[in-house]
Amino acid sequence: MPTRPVGLEWPQLPAKQQPSWPDDGSLERVRETLATYPPLVFAGECDDLRTRLAAASRGEAFVLQGGDCAEMFASATADNIRDRVKTILQMAAVLTYGASTPVVKLGRIAGQFAKPRSKDTETRGDVTLPAYRGDMVNDFAFTPEARRPDPERLLQAYNTSAATLNLVRAFTQGGFADLRNVHDWNKGFIANAANARYEKTAKDIDRAMRFMAACGVDFDALRAVDFFSSHEALLLDYERPLTRVDSRSGRPYATSGHMLWVGERTREIDGAHIDFVSRVSNPVGMKVGPKADPDDLLRIIDKIDPEREPGRLTFITRMGAGTIREALPPIVERLKAEGAAPVWITDPMHGNTFESASGFKTRRLDDIVDEVRGFFEVHEAAGTVPGGLHVELTGNDVTECLGGSVEVRDEDLESRYESACDPRLNHQQSLELAYLVAEMLSA
Ligand code: PEP
Ligand code: MN
């Protein structure tokens, strides 16, 4: 169990997207406190996830990674957490049943509190303030006090992550995620076409389970579900003090989440973020945008995964629906030719963001579906494995992304736009996407 803080002296490398913390000693005190806190996840769990990701890289499982763009402290309520977990469990049931494949369930949860921003400041009218960088740094409210980076927030991020993960573990290990409850996960959500379709799937799953029970299958294995946590490893003042040496293997692990990923804006080969993830033994994700240079990606592989260990490295491609069919093939083919077999996951959200006529940052469900289709086409043509889906979603009935069978239109966006950062699929749009992806996966 990893309990010792890492004694490593972290090299002083350039780190992008770090807040301007106050220069009053508070950050140092917070870092020291974090270094005394218990790990949120354990090395053995991270290794277990890596084994499952390795299966996904071979096409023997499919990864479903989802959750908020930016978690917020005030939103970490029991109902919100439960509804997000239920949405992921429902999507996983649709995928498992529809495509007869095991699904690796990975939340963007319990640590997704820091955001890279395109500008350091935000201007409204004639007022300019520091940009909102996630609840781990400052507050969303547009006032000078709220936007001032406060290191104490790193401690609150740890505590909120611990509480969130505790509830996630209770839901997924305590019987709630038992496939025999497949109907119950739909309760409480607003009736709509996607929910009705889900009810039908749940009935089919029920029938299959009764059949297996009659055959004498032991259902104990279905009682608990493995649900892993992940977030962007952005704030090194949070991640470094939470790194511990695993007493079994002597290797360091980031203990803030099972999988950490490096964002599109912070993955320079000589930067501090790539250096950090190269030193921890967790499974690591890497966002890959349309301009990615295959040589850069090969250097990243050599640095993070020199042994080419299956499941260690996941490339989360976020290309844009209009771009993926041209931009992804050269990357996938080059890496294949070099013998690299990362897990390939599609993030059909971040390349498809635009500002709607009414002024909201939004995405179209149709574009999201089209990028996923492009992802399957490219991997099919290259003979590589489409290993998973990465989405920003919520269990709530928000109106942030356009489209869906109960259509969210531009004029609806203002009614329930609740995201502090990027637009998320609502519950119904998430289920619709799961059905479409199940079809693509089994085609
Ligand atoms: C994100 O996942 O919220 C994000 C900022 O993504 P990217 O690094 O791909 O832009
Ligand atoms: Mn986002």
The three-point CA angle 250-252-257 to 5° equals: 135
Nearest atom (ligand 1) to Cα of 112: 3
Q: Which H/E stretch holds residue 65?
A: strand 62-67
Which residues are near ligand 2, the ion (C-beta closer than 5 Å)?
69, 422
Q: Is 52 a pocket residue for ligand 1 (Cβ < 6 Å)?
A: no
pLDDT value, residue 219: 76
Reported as a pLDDT band with limits 50, 70 and 90, residue 27 is very high
**pLDDT tens track for 175-197:** 888 888 898 898 888 888 999 99
* Protein residue whose Cα sits closest to atom 10 of ligand 1: 264
> Average pLDDT over the chain, rounded to whole?
95
pLDDT for position 1: 59
Q: Which atom of ligand 1 is nearest to the CA of 289?
A: 9
**Tens-place pLDDT, residues 333-373:** 999 999 999 999 999 999 999 999 999 999 999 999 999 99
Nearest to 262 by CA among 234, 296, 301, 295: 234
At residue 218, does pLDDT exceed 80? no
Query: Which is more confidently placed, 224 or 55?
Result: 55
pTM for this structure?
A: 0.97
Q: What is the pLDDT averaged over residues 43-62? A: 98
Is the Cα torsion angle 16, 18, 22, 23 positive or negative in sign?
Answer: negative
Secondary structure E strands in 213-359: 227-232, 243-246, 252-254, 259-262, 284-288, 313-317, 343-346, 354-355
Q: How far is the CA of 206 from the centre of ligand 2 (A)?
A: 35
